[in-house]
Chains A and B, each alone.
Chain A
Amino acid sequence: MLPTSLAVDGSGFRRTRGSRIRADAVLLDPPRRRGVRDRRRRAESPVVQRTADGYAPIRDYALVGDGRTATLVATDGSVDWLCLPDIDSPSVFARILDSGRGGSFQLEPAVPYESSRRYLPGTNVLETTFETAAGSVRLTDAMTLTDDDHLSPLRELCRKIEGLDGAVPLRWRFEPRFDYGRGRTRITRRGAHWVAEHRGEALALGVWDAGQPTHDGDDALAGEFRLEQGGSAMLSLASAHQQPLVLPGRDDAERRLERAIRFWHAWSERCQYDGSWREAVVRSALVLKLLVFAPSGAIVAAPTASLPEEIGGGRNWDYRFTWLRDASWALDALIRLGFDDEAHAFFWWLMHASRLTQPRLQILYRVDGNDRAKEVDLPELLGYRGSAPVRIGNGAARQVQLDVYGSVLESIWLYAEHVGHLDGETGREVAKIADYVCEHWRDRDSGIWEVRSQPAHFTQSKALCWVALDRARALAERGLIPDRSERWRAEADEIRAFVEAECWSDEKRSYVRAPDLHEIDASLLTLAILSYDYPVSERLQATIEAVRRELQQGPFVYRYRGEDGVQGDDGAFLTCSFWLVDALARLGKLDEARSLMDQLVATANDVGLYSEEIDPESREFLGNFPQGLTHLALINAAISIAAASSERETAR
């Protein structure tokens, strides 16, 4: 481990000023204009928040990726999570799940420092600036893209360091741990590169002007170097999977890094959103793009596994799968932002991946379309800050969750409306899915929250079955799918009658979680967003108020307060918070929606990312990170406010 020279406060975290503040300071007072005394004073203040046992707050991470895999980089320059070759492959670096044996790629000044960071505007390329008493340096982290004109590594992480001011001593440590830390790693020298191997996996480390690598034990390399103003160094990590390694030269790596910056910038320029919170919306779109697994078009829920919903608890799940539930939110966001190619690819993936089980839909699939998601524990890893067990795979895959049908039919409707047609085969499959809903909406299910308690008649699931049949009728009316509207209408009417008779509580003045679970459930906000009632009925308005009354704490909204069959508590669910914004906008409560949106946008970390959940008291991020559904909900909430504002203006 690197020696630490940083103070630790009583909470276990090293104290720091917020990154946002540091970033502002850099902007207002560029390092190279400052005096040595100022720099020395700053550098004496503690820097990065890691616990005594080496864990950084989830909030301290940023994501870089290439559309195939993604890596988490901490504020102190440590790469703490990377799976290779694909986003759902076993990890090579998993320090975030076990600071001792998980593996990492650390790079930081060898003297006390402060760091600030940002994404290069409109890109997924991360820039971290380290300031020390001796000077300052800038670290640029990016995963490069395949270069069609030159032989490229299968995957490549580039870390470029530039001297901005003074002369800064730096150090790095490369500690790969294949197969979630279970694999045996062997590191050998091959010419100008160092190669780490485990079975069919290989990593080549290229080091240019970054010191002489030396073995630090059998399975790690370390180096130290000094970077002066105007100087630069480069570390590149190239991977291979069951094939020979491609060993890049420095010029190749630098060229690909520049190319990646150009690509991301051009991609984000395509975003057609021009309303309020544009920066947050574009950042969310860039996150979403990193969650798209380019070889298939699938979108993972998050790039991480087993980041806990409760510190020290057991609510640790693997999110490196594609949930069909997210389909409608994803397609809605992609289409509304103008990313037609991604929407098209995701729709094809959706219809192709679900072919094995149609008309029944499995709730999640692997990114390669495979339907296996067996959940297993990894006792070898301690878990984030002791949050065990670490799980890979996801047992929810075999659950019945009826709301999925509403989400999928809504996404098909959105897609068909956008492109204007559906091919005949897809149309026939869609009609069969609607028929399946007619036959199964009376079943109990595990609901949108994937409870592991006994299945129930969840209100949101029933309402989403109604949405499924409503969209099927709309598609049939346009002649896009075979017309069995009479049956679909009759069943939809029965669903609505069930919801109104069994799922409303006069006492709570709200729809409830299920007929026999008289609790408020934030997922019922989706009834307003998916137009279960349009215009929003009094009952639905009352339900939204009940969510605010019983589940809202500050700007944050909990999912529910009742049992779900899993021990322990979880934080407030950020997606629900943005759903509340969306619902308020659709109710016409624009001032409240805008105010809440402002608060939520300010809750992002220093580079604009959100996790799945948040502790409303400490604002600590919880759960997998960054969470696609949260970013989708942000995009859709911003667009809903813009649309409602526009409607109001038009009405005037």
Chain B
Amino acid sequence: MISIWGALAGGVIGTVVLTSGLRIGQAEGWTRMDLPLLLGTIFTDDRGRASVIGYAVHFANGLVFSLGYYAIFEAVGHAGWVFGAILGVVHAAFGGGVLVTSLLPAVHPRMGTPWSDAEETPLLEPPGFLLVNYGRRTAIWTVVVHVAYGAIVGGFAAHLG
């Protein structure tokens, strides 16, 4: 039995793990990827307020994505740690390869794009192909934390039913 509440609970805990993982990556110098800051600066250029807003948005995203995972589990008729982890790889590829790399710079009012010119003074550098501008190991670390997120959502959805 696949549980939507399990998926949501997994979404909360998975987002905590994912966010903590990225923070550890920052502290260890592996990446400058700071999702709450990237999301929060859509709304304000005050770093402190941006981080608070960003965390809220980030947790909301974590829950929304867990519902997406749940939809896939239902469609396939299977959920579990391993399947969740595989979806986590897809999630990382989509998030890192499309959402953050291409779509976020296009809509973010304070982020540069390859088209930013002398008329603009963006405050945040664009992430670049495979997020490499935020550190060479960013892509790898992004996959690792998303695999953890996916595994937790998959496991909770399968076992809390």
Are B26 and A68 closer than 8 Å at their CB atoms?
no
| Apart from A66-B117, A154-B115, A296-B122, 7 more pairs, CB < 8 Å | A67-B116, A146-B116, A263-B119, A294-B116, A344-B121, A368-B125, A371-B136
A183 at the interface (CB under 8 A from B): no
Q: A368-B125, A369-B125 are in contact. Are A67 and B118 (CB under 8 A)?
A: yes
**Cβ–Cβ contact B118 & A145, under 8 A:** yes
Given contact pairs A294-B112, A425-B48, A352 touches B124 in the complex (Cβ within 8 A): yes
Residues 111-142 (chain B) with a chain A CB within 8 angstroms: 112-126, 128, 132-136
B138, closest chain A residue (CB): A356
Contacts of B132 in A (CB 8 A): 370
Q: Is the CB of B125 within 8 A of A425?
A: no
Contact among B26, B48, B113, B136 with A370 in the assembled complex (CB-CB below 8 Å): B136
**1/0 per residue A130-152: CB within 8 Å of B?**
00000000000000011000001
Q: Which residue of B lies closest to A346 (CB)?
A: B121
Within 8 A of B (CB), among A349-384: 349, 352-353, 355-357, 368-372
Between A and B, 8 residue pairs with Cβ closer than 8 Å are: A68-B116, A85-B114, A146-B116, A289-B118, A292-B118, A295-B125, A296-B122, A348-B124
Q: Is A423 an interface residue (CB 8 A)?
A: yes
| Chain B nearest Cβ from A567, distance in angstroms | 33
Q: Mark out the residues of chain A between 273 and 297 whose CB falls within 8 Å of any chain B CB in the assembled complex.
A: 289-290, 292, 294-297
Q: At the interface, yes or no: A341 with Cβ under 8 Å from chain B?
A: yes
Q: Which residues of A contact B47 (CB under 8 A)?
A: 423-426
Closest B residue, CB atoms, query A368: B133
Docked-complex contact B29 and A154, CB < 8 angstroms: no
Tell me the complex Cα distance, A145–B118, Å. 7
Q: Given contacts A67-B117, A297-B112, is CB(A371)–CB(B122) below 8 Å?
A: no
**Residue A165 at the chain B interface, CB threshold 8 Å:** no
Residues of B within 8 A of A (CB): 26, 29, 31-32, 46-48, 51, 112-126, 128, 132-136
Find the A residue at minimum CB distance from B137.
Answer: A356
Q: Closest CB of chain B to A258's CB: distance in Å?
A: 14
Shortest beta-carbon contacts, A-B, top 7: A67-B118, A295-B112, A296-B125, A423-B47, A341-B121, A345-B121, A348-B123
Taking CB atoms, residues of chain B closer than 8 Å to A532 are: none
Tell whether, in the assembled complex, residue A370 and residue B32 are in contact, meaning their CB atoms are under 8 Å apart: no
A297 touching B118, Cβ below 8 Å: no
Quick check: A423 and B122 within 8 Å, CB to CB?
Answer: no
Taking Cβ atoms with an 8 Å cutoff, the residues of A that contact B are 65-68, 85, 145-146, 152, 154, 241, 263-264, 267, 289-290, 292, 294-298, 341-342, 344-345, 348-349, 352-353, 355-357, 368-372, 423-426
- Interface hub of A66, A355, A424, A426 (most chain B Cβ within 10 A): A355
In the bound complex, CA of A241 to CA of B46 (Å): 34
Q: Establish whether residues B117 and A145, one from each chain, have CB atoms under 8 Å apart when the complex forms.
A: yes
The residue among A145, A369, A370 with the most chain B CB atoms within 10 A of its own CB is A369
Please give, as numbers and ranges, the residues of chain A lying within 8 Å of B134 by CB-CB distance. 369
Question: In the bound complex, what is the Cα–Cα distance between A365 and B112 (angstroms)?
Answer: 17
CA–CA, A357 and B126, complex, Å: 19
Contacts of A349 in B (CB 8 A): 125
What residues on B are CB-neighbors of A356 within 8 Å? 29, 31-32, 135
A66: which B residues are within 8 A, CB to CB?
117-118
Chain B, Cβ-Cβ closest to A340? B121
Q: How far is the CA of A292 from the CA of B135 in the complex (A)?
A: 21
Chain B residues with CB below 8 A from A296, complex form: 112, 122, 125-126, 133
For residue A341, which residue of chain B has the nearest CB? B121
With a cutoff of 8 Å between Cβ atoms, the chain B residues found around residue A370 in the complex are 128, 132-133, 136
CB neighbours of A341 from chain B (8 A):
121
> Which residue, B51, B125, B136, has most C-beta atoms of chain A within 10 A?
B125
Chain B residues contacting A424 (CB-CB under 8 Å) are 47-48
Residues of B within 8 A of A152 (CB): 115
B114 and A294 contacting across the interface, CB-CB below 8 Å:
no
A65 to B119, CA, bound (A): 12
B114 touching A154, Cβ below 8 Å: yes
Residues of B within 8 A of A154 (CB): 114-115
The CA-CA distance from A154 to B124 in the complex, in Å, is 20
Q: Are A295 and B118 in contact (CB under 8 A)?
A: no
A433 → chain B, closest Cβ, in Å?
Answer: 14
Which of A241, A370, A426 neighbours the largest number of chain B CB atoms within 10 Å of its CB? A370
| B113 x A295 contact (CB < 8 A) | yes
A552 to B60, CA, bound (A): 64
Knowing A295-B126, A297-B125, the reply to whether A371 touches B135 (Cβ < 8 A) is yes
Q: Which residues of B contact A294 (CB under 8 A)?
A: 112, 116-122
- Residues of B contacting A369 in the complex (Cβ-Cβ under 8 angstroms): 32, 125, 128, 133-134
Q: Which residue of B lies closest to A296 (CB)?
A: B125
Q: B32 to chain A: which residues have CB within 8 Å?
A: 352-353, 355-356, 369
- What separation, in Å, do the CA atoms of A66 and B128 have in the docked complex? 20
Return A325 CB to nearest CB of chain B, in Å.
20
Which of B26, B113, B118, B125 has the most A CB atoms < 10 Å from its CB?
B118
* Cα distance, A425 to B118, chains bound together (Å): 29
Judge whether B121 and A146 touch: CB under 8 Å.
no
CB–CB B118/A263 < 8 A: yes
Residue on B nearest A267 in the bound complex, by CB? B118
Smallest beta-carbon distance B19→chain A, Å: 15
B122 touches A345 (CB 8 A): yes
B residues less than 8 Å from A297 (CB atoms): 112, 121-123, 125
Q: Closest CB-CB distance, B117 to chain A, in whole Å?
A: 4
**A42 vs B33: C-alpha distance in the bound complex, in angstroms?**
61
- Residues of chain A with a CB closer than 8 A to B119's CB: 67, 145-146, 263, 294
> Which A residues touch B116, using CB under 8 A?
67-68, 146, 294-295
User: With the chains together, A341 CA to B133 CA distance in Å?
Assistant: 22
- B32: min CB distance to chain A, Å: 4
Q: Which residues of the other chain, B, contact A298 by a CB distance below 8 angstroms?
A: 125
Q: Which of B46, B122, B136 contacts A372 (CB 8 A)?
A: B136
Nearest Cβ in chain B — how far from A264, in angstroms?
A: 8
**Minimum distance in angstroms from B16 CB to a CB of chain A:** 20
**CA A424 – CA B49 in complex, angstroms?**
10
**For the complex, what is the distance from the CA of A341 to the CA of B121, rounded to whole Å?**
6
CB distance from B85 to the nearest CB of A (A): 28
Within the assembled complex, what's the spacing in Å between the Cα atoms of A395 and B128? 23
Write the chain A residue with the least CB distance to B113. Answer: A295
Q: Chain B's nearest CB lies how many Å from the CB of A639?
A: 22
Q: How far is the CA of A263 from the CA of B119 in the complex (A)?
A: 7
B3 to chain A, nearest CB (A): 38
- CB contacts (< 8 Å) of B122 on chain A: these are 294-297, 345
In Å, the complex CA distance between A264 and B119 comes to: 9
- Chain A nearest CB from B14 CB (Å) reads 25
Closest residue of A by beta carbon distance from B31:
A356
